């Protein structure tokens, strides 16, 4: 029964992934393409590309897409595939949401506890490093093009510097994303790669 | 008192306009919750961020859960989660139905080629702002730098780094007291 399996599999994936969506990808891949054969490796790569290009958390995007495609591939109707998509998305967040609520309630009951204050004082500094690491890990040819005197690389650096600058000055991130996309369309249309 | 619909709307905007996953959502959440709405202080926001990263699951949903609960309890948490994921889920379902037709559209491709470096810059920029509110000084700046290098260069799992911080923060606090 593909629905039950989807629910159980994404429940597991949600519970055992630390470090956000990108850490989830490896786990989802082995469950979905190797253990259950819901998707071919090719389809999975497609999903990743789509997830990175569409709004929303990568973990949710991947669950939604997998749920839809797995049910469709199992021979069901499209409306049942939509149910599969909703089921997988719900399953992947169910346990983390419960755990987070328990944690927040616990912390609010123990406000002012010196040990907890000390732990968070250090954690806040470490988290800054975690975000820096996330940015560093995205400095790839995938995002910027190959480091060379190519148009894509130079434009990407320019976009990076401009967005970094405006972001420090509190320009809306939404505006910056849309502007970068429009610049991409104009420049790469005028000078096709 | 924060209204449920305001919470829903704020997270709806954040979920709809973030491309590139949870970390790309952090600057939008910070701007919306701390700067624009003034619902939480930057320090409370950072506490929630630290907690969200220490727990399993999707980072953005963990943030929505924790922030929503802090602002309006259980229903607040569910308003924030719903707002955060409704558009992405609808978007992906629509896309899954249509994907094969416009995967290779050159304009879509060019749009995203422009957006990808912007996403990296959006993640990098708040590092300095957050460092300030985490009270990182010249004396303590080695802490985030070490954490970033361990993860980036040495492939240390972020979970391990967080666990180490929990233990060290606890021990350091106890030693200081004595």
* ipTM value for the complex: 0.76
Residues B169 and A122: beta-carbon distance below 8 Å: yes
Structure tokens at B123: 């993640």
How much of chain B, in percent, has pLDDT values that exceed 90? 34
Are residues A179 and A92 part of one domain?
no
The radius of gyration of chain B's CA atoms, rounded to the nearest angstrom, is 19
Find the helix packing angle between A151-168 and A173-190, rounded to 10°: 160
Are residues A141 and A94 part of one domain?
no
Are residues B107 and B60 part of one domain?
yes
Residues B31 and A170: beta-carbon distance below 8 Å: yes
Are residues B43 and B87 part of one domain?
yes
Q: Provide the pLDDT for residue B20.
A: 65
Which residue, of B135, B153, B169, is where some domain finishes? B135
CA distance B1 to chain A (A): 18
Contact B107 A185 (CB under 8 A): yes
Per-residue pLDDT of B57-109, as tens digits, reads 888 899 999 999 999 999 999 999 999 999 999 999 998 888 656 667 888 77
Residue A127 near chain B (CB below 8 Å) = yes
Structure tokens at B177: 């007291």
Which residue, of A87, A105, A123, is where some domain finishes? A105
Are residues B27 and B41 part of one domain?
yes
Which residue, of A51, A73, A105, is where some domain finishes? A105
CA B48/CA A123 separation, integer angstroms: 10
Are residues B92 and B19 part of one domain?
yes
Helix (H) or strand (E) holding B124: helix B106-124
CA B22/CA B59 separation, integer angstroms: 5
Which residue, of A75, A105, A135, is where some domain finishes? A105
B172, pLDDT greater than 60 = yes
Contact B18 A125 (CB under 8 A): no
CA B54/CA B48 separation, integer angstroms: 10
CA atoms within 13 A on the CB side of B80: 25
pLDDT in tens, chain A (193 residues): 889 999 999 998 888 776 555 556 667 777 888 788 888 877 777 776 677 667 888 788 889 999 998 898 888 998 999 999 999 999 999 999 999 999 999 988 888 888 888 888 888 888 888 878 878 877 877 778 877 778 889 999 999 999 999 988 878 777 888 899 899 999 999 988 7
Structure tokens at A58: 């990568």
Query: Domain range for residue B150?
Result: 137-178
Are residues B104 and B89 part of one domain?
yes
User: Can you say whether the dihedral through the CA atoms of A83, A84, A88, A94 is positive or negative?
Assistant: positive
Contacts of B83 in chain A (CB under 8 A): none
Are residues B79 and B14 part of one domain?
yes
Contact B96 A68 (CB under 8 A): yes
The number of domains in chain A is 2
Are residues A160 and A96 part of one domain?
no
CA distance B63 to chain A (A): 9
Contact B92 A118 (CB under 8 A): no
Are residues A150 and A70 part of one domain?
no
Are residues A142 and A90 part of one domain?
no
CA A81/CA A50 separation, integer angstroms: 18
Are residues A147 and A90 part of one domain?
no
Helix (H) or strand (E) holding B27: helix B22-29
Are residues A120 and A94 part of one domain?
no
Are residues B156 and B102 part of one domain?
no
Residues B161 and A133: beta-carbon distance below 8 Å: no
Contact B69 A101 (CB under 8 A): yes
Nearest CA in chain B to A136: B152
CA distance A83 to chain B (A): 10
Are residues B160 and B96 part of one domain?
no
Nearest to A121 among B17, B87, B169 (CB): B169
Structure tokens at A132: 């820096």
Contact A17 B56 (CB under 8 A): yes
Are residues B145 and B125 part of one domain?
no
Query: Domain range for residue A47?
Result: 2-105
Are residues B175 and B120 part of one domain?
no
Are residues A118 and A101 part of one domain?
no
Are residues B158 and B104 part of one domain?
no
The number of domains in chain B is 2
Contact A133 B151 (CB under 8 A): yes
Neighbours of B109 (CB within 10 A): 16
CA distance B103 to chain A (A): 9
């Amino acid at each position: 029964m593909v629905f039950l399996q989807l629910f159980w599999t994404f429940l597991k994936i949600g519970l055992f992934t630390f470090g956000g969506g990108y850490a989830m990808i490896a786990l989802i891949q082995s469950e979905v393409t190797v253990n259950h054969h819901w998707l071919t490796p090719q389809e999975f790569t497609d999903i990743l590309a789509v997830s990175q290009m569409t709004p929303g958390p990568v973990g949710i995007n991947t669950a939604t897409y997998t749920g839809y495609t797995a049910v469709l591939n199992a021979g069901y109707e499209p409306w049942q595939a939509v149910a599969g998509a909703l089921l997988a998305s719900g399953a992947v967040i169910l346990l983390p949401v419960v755990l987070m609520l328990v944690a927040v309630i616990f912390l609010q009951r123990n406000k002012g506890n010196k040990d907890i204050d000390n732990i968070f004082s250090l954690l806040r500094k470490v988290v800054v490093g975690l975000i820096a690491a996330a940015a560093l890990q995205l400095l790839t040819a995938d995002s910027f093009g190959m480091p060379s005197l190519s148009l894509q690389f130079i434009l990407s650096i320019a976009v990076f510097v401009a967005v970094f600058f405006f972001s420090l000055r509190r320009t809306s991130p939404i505006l910056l994303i849309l502007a970068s996309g429009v610049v991409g369309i104009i420049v790469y249309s005028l000078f096709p790669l | 008192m924060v209204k449920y619909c305001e919470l829903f709307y704020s997270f709806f905007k954040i979920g709809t306009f973030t491309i590139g996953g949870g970390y790309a959502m952090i600057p939008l959440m910070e701007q919306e919750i701390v700067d624009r709405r003034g619902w939480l202080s930057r320090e409370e926001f950072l506490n929630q961020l630290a907690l969200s990263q220490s727990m399993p699951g999707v980072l953005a949903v963990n943030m929505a859960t924790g922030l929503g609960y802090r602002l309006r309890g259980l229903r607040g948490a569910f308003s924030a989660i719903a707002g955060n994921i409704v558009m992405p889920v609808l978007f992906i379902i629509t896309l899954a139905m249509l994907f094969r037709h416009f995967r290779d559209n050159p304009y879509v491709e060019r749009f995203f080629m422009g957006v990808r470096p912007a996403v990296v810059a959006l993640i990098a920029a708040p590092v300095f702002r957050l460092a300030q509110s985490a009270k990182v000084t010249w004396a303590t700046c080695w802490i985030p730098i070490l954490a970033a290098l361990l993860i980036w260069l040495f492939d240390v799992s972020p979970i391990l780094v967080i666990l180490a911080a929990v233990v060290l923060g606890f021990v350091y606090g106890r030693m200081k007291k004595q």
